[in-house]
Structure 1
């Protein structure tokens, strides 16, 4: 009974409701008085019905949430006590926004729309794999999952320095969900991207996806602090984010990890049209880039997450040699020291927040 229940809960957590339904039904059959199993069975059956309904009515891409949104005509009330945004992002606005967020305030909805729409266009026009060379005298910091932990991010900036023309940042996915300040982090990262588009970079993570946002909190947070349209605009912007960044032609940075096929090259990633596939699904290059993990054993193995797979040091070595790389830099997993070098130094895992596995 307990084994079926644990497996059903795991299936539900990794967004496999059909499999969860089977195990919860077995639990209820074994113990008809188990109220918790009954409740979870009903919830999973509801999700399965919703998915079937959406699949049945899907006739094409739905219109953008920006359709009919007249941002220019929106009025910022005289009582608004923050810095005004006059058409383009400024450092003054970012500094004021950071303080507002620290004090539990939000920014005006007009500014939220402006930020998301501006950055959606910026990242949409970037390639699937952004290629960056670091000029002399410039430092680049790669930062893993922040997961809605705003004050962790503030501490990082305090210790490491805020974004500037001489201090570039690359945020490697999973900046939303789980924590209570996901909208604040997303807006702050986007504002910095808007201000310094060639000095500030954002990769997509497995939590910048609709399914994860529904389950792990970002959708609900957007609706509570702003409205449903804000979430939909964020969702559209997430699907436009690049999937990887190549730094100095030697360091391949992506959220998850490597591939189930040794023949995948950087050119395959360059050619990947992420705009045709908004969500990663259960297979393919996009899914593997967002979900896979390293393992200590050679070869490949099943994923502990139930999605993707795990890859060994030999896989990493072959990929680096084939593509002329020094190392793969990824996030997606907790490391107690904040980061860890694995696979003979060719796979580096770094993650800011420890709030999720």
Structure 2
């Protein structure tokens, strides 16, 4: 890299750094790309790849982060940050042994670095825990919940359920929402009752559910809410509470990241138990044990309740359906489409969803895949599943006599994005994601008369000063 190219690259790098400081990660990534383009094969370009990898980690594009990290190491095998970013990407993908090997390589170069040593110590603990849990793992059997064994203290004055089968009215749910809005906990006994009753409803469903709405009926579809309880309350304030005339479908990722995930999921469960037809939900990639362990929900549940309650939530997540089809026209699922052609709605309906998401297959694609601008199928920017092009979407919809795919799974600046000539819509309902992205949220209203998407956007509202990831395990400070 000659002097002029290097100076130009450093200017782009500094602009990228400035954007990064203001949480403008995509803009920062674009500037680092310009720095790389000045001379992508010089060892001096290693920091640019590493910086871009850091942006991709922030954007949750872990596959791209891994690629950039590996390139920075290839350009400069002594560049410690390259190994650090590589280890972070592997950790985000749940590849703990690979992550430890990356940090070992960083340790070899800087053996006295206390941060690297701390990461290695935590990874050792995580690997031990993972191996221990695997050693005692048994084939899935539904957990039996016994709320009757729990004593409610006389001092508790929140919402109550005197009997397992007590009717849950709309007024009871609204009381619960207001109780939790004041950062008060629903008693564990009643949490268990709600989960138990909701499981009994969900077990009647297939992996794919057909919903049909009459000409004058409507359905609101929301995307990720990620533990942002006060933004969930705002959706109901703007669009009305769930009711037979105002039903909702929440498209996965109710938990993790935001530190009010318990409140989000309990609100949705309570409405579902009140009336199964006013709330529908699909499973997202964050409704899984690995993600909950890393991104805060497990820590939050244990902090607010205990590990047994977390077991019941994990079991509940396995009962969630994976996909809805609305009026035989619109398919709604969290991630996207499939690694191979020829998948039918009957194939989806037949998926055994009572499991943790596997590494590959139809279930994983439904939870993890993303649309891309180029035709064809491409390696996933996340490192899991695939990216599918407009032609893949159009063929799948045509083969299954559908008109539109609605999916979530990705933060969008305006809360939504329309792709594939209008055949794919991403909807994301967590505004100012993680208190730093500055994005809007969105939801979509479908009317039975035409099933055309009516997209509404909204901004974030204030919430109590509990930061995102407040209950996540400390190793996520890697990011």
Equivalent in 84, 87, 90 of residue 5 of structure 1 = 84
> Counterpart in 1 of 2:409?
332
Shift of 1:272: 1.1
Say if 1:264 and 1:173 are closer, same or farther in 2 by CA, change over 3 A: same
Mapped contact 2:378–2:388 kept (Cα < 8 A): yes
Say if 1:79 and 1:39 are closer, same or farther in 2 by CA, change over 3 A: closer
Superposition pairs of residues 27-106 of structure 1, within 5 angstroms: 27-61=106-140, 64=143, 66=145, 69=146, 71-72=147-148, 74-86=150-162, 87-106=166-185
Say if 1:328 and 1:105 are closer, same or farther in 2 by CA, change over 3 A: same
**Distance of 1:301 and 1:271 partners within structure 2:** 26
Deviations 1:63-107 (A, max 9, x none): 7252xx2x2364544443334334221111111111111111111
> Counterpart in 2 of 1:314?
391
SS of equivalent to 2:293 = helix
57-66 or 128-137: which moved more?
57-66
> Counterpart in 2 of 1:172?
251
**Distance of 2:410 and 2:357 partners within structure 1:** 19
Mapped contact 2:244–2:277 kept (Cα < 8 A): no
User: Is 2:310 aligned against 1:231?
Assistant: yes
**Distance of 1:196 and 1:41 partners within structure 2:** 49
User: Is 2:273 aligned against 1:194?
Assistant: yes
Deviations 1:187-242 (A, max 9, x none): 00001111111232010000110001111111111111112221111110001100
Gaps of 5+ in 2: 1-79, 438-479
Equivalent in 278, 282, 298 of residue 219 of structure 1 = 298
User: Is 2:224 aligned against 1:145?
Assistant: yes
Mapped contact 2:285–2:367 kept (Cα < 8 A): yes
**Distance of 2:203 and 2:142 partners within structure 1:** 17
Mapped contact 1:116–1:190 kept (Cα < 8 A): yes
144-153 or 30-39: which moved more?
30-39
SS of equivalent to 1:274 = coil
Equivalent in 294, 310, 319 of residue 240 of structure 1 = 319
Deviations 1:278-327 (A, max 9, x none): 10021111111111111101111111211111111011011011001111
**Distance of 2:233 and 2:351 partners within structure 1:** 34
Equivalent in 345, 359, 379 of residue 302 of structure 1 = 379
Q: TM-score, normalised by structure 1?
A: 0.94
**Distance of 1:100 and 1:58 partners within structure 2:** 37
Deviations 1:233-260 (A, max 9, x none): 1110001100011111111100001000
Equivalent in 244, 260, 264 of residue 185 of structure 1 = 264
**Distance of 1:50 and 1:220 partners within structure 2:** 15
User: Is 2:345 aligned against 1:269?
Assistant: no
**Distance of 1:347 and 1:190 partners within structure 2:** 28
Aligned residues: 352
86-95 or 214-223: which moved more?
86-95
Gaps of 5+ in 1: none
> Counterpart in 1 of 2:193?
114
Mapped contact 1:137–1:166 kept (Cα < 8 A): no
211-220 or 29-38: which moved more?
29-38
RMSD: 1.7
Mapped contact 1:341–1:347 kept (Cα < 8 A): yes
> Counterpart in 1 of 2:363?
286
Equivalent in 97, 100, 113 of residue 21 of structure 1 = 100
SS of equivalent to 2:421 = coil
**Distance of 2:150 and 2:238 partners within structure 1:** 38
Give the greater-gyration-radius structure (CA).
Answer: 2
**Distance of 2:137 and 2:227 partners within structure 1:** 32
Say if 1:80 and 1:32 are closer, same or farther in 2 by CA, change over 3 A: closer
Mapped contact 2:142–2:315 kept (Cα < 8 A): no
> Counterpart in 2 of 1:253?
332
User: Is 2:425 aligned against 1:343?
Assistant: no
Mapped contact 1:83–1:92 kept (Cα < 8 A): no
